[in-house]
Amino acid sequence: MSKTIKLGFDSASVAKALRELQEYQDWLRDKANDLIAELIGRGLDDVSVSFMTAEYKGPRDDITYDIEDRGDGVYAIIVNGVTAVIIEFGAGVTRGYGHPQADEFGFGPGTFPGQTHAMDPNGWYLPKSKGGGHTDGNPPSKTMYNEAKKLREQLAEIAMEVFKK
């Protein structure tokens, strides 16, 4: 929305211009909140689908999603659960490499506490409680990494959609 505010040289005109400025400021704030909600909604939808469909043999019942308000209009999608970490960063020496932020966050093959088979190129057998069967790990899904990149790339387009409504 473009806005033109006309200002005369009398107190009534100044008062009217101030009201119009306040209305415009309120509209901008509301649209910024709409944009935040749209980004959170799209991001949460995409990451929840990606975590549920990513290559991984075990159960996914420990994955939870939260929205964290970090103040000043900054929000974060938080994905919790050991399974989420394994899916995001990968597992196993054979297939678990390739996440661009693995070193930054301290994850990747051989970093899981108490692991005993991550560095075995022949893989390992999962207990029945974890889905059972043989695995040689899984590739990193890069779900959070890719979603953040996608939302950054689409930000201007999404903002245009929101601000035109």
Look at residue 46 and tell me if it is in a domain.
yes
Look at residue 92 in the predicted model and tell me its pLDDT. Answer: 86
Would you say residue 1 has pLDDT above 70? no
- Facing residues of 134 across strands? 125
Look at residue 55 and tell me if it is in a domain.
yes
Look at residue 95 and tell me if it is in a domain.
yes
Q: What is the pLDDT of residues 63-76, one digit of tens each?
A: 999 999 999 989 99
Q: What is the pLDDT of residues 95-138, one digit of tens each?
A: 889 999 999 999 888 787 777 777 888 887 788 877 788 888 88
Q: What is the pLDDT of residues 23-33, one digit of tens each?
A: 999 999 999 99
Can you give the pTM of this predicted structure?
0.84
Look at residue 116 in the predicted model and tell me its pLDDT. Answer: 77
Look at residue 1 and tell me if it is in a domain.
no
Look at residue 99 and tell me if it is in a domain.
yes
Domain that holds residue 32: 11-164
Look at residue 2 and tell me if it is in a domain.
no
Using DSSP, state whether 55 is helix, strand or coil: coil
Look at residue 35 and tell me if it is in a domain.
yes
Per DSSP, 58 falls in state: S
Mean pLDDT value across residues 78-94: 92
- Kindly state the tokens that stand for 19: 């009201």
Number of domains the chain contains: 1
Q: Are strands 124-126 and 74-80 parallel, antiparallel or unpaired?
A: unpaired
Name 10's Cβ contacts closer than 8 Å, sequence gap at least 6. Answer: none
Look at residue 6 and tell me if it is in a domain.
no
Confidence of residue 36 (pLDDT cuts 50, 70, 90): very high
CA angle 106, 107, 113 (to 5 degrees): 95
What is the pLDDT of the chain when averaged over all its residues?
91
Q: Which amino acid is at 16?
A: K
Closest residue by Cα to residue 75 from 36, 128, 114: 36
Query: How many DSSP H helices and E strands does the chain contain?
Result: 4, 4
Name 116's Cβ contacts closer than 8 Å, sequence gap at least 6. Answer: 124
Q: What is the pLDDT of residues 130-160, one digit of tens each?
A: 778 888 888 999 999 999 999 999 999 999 9
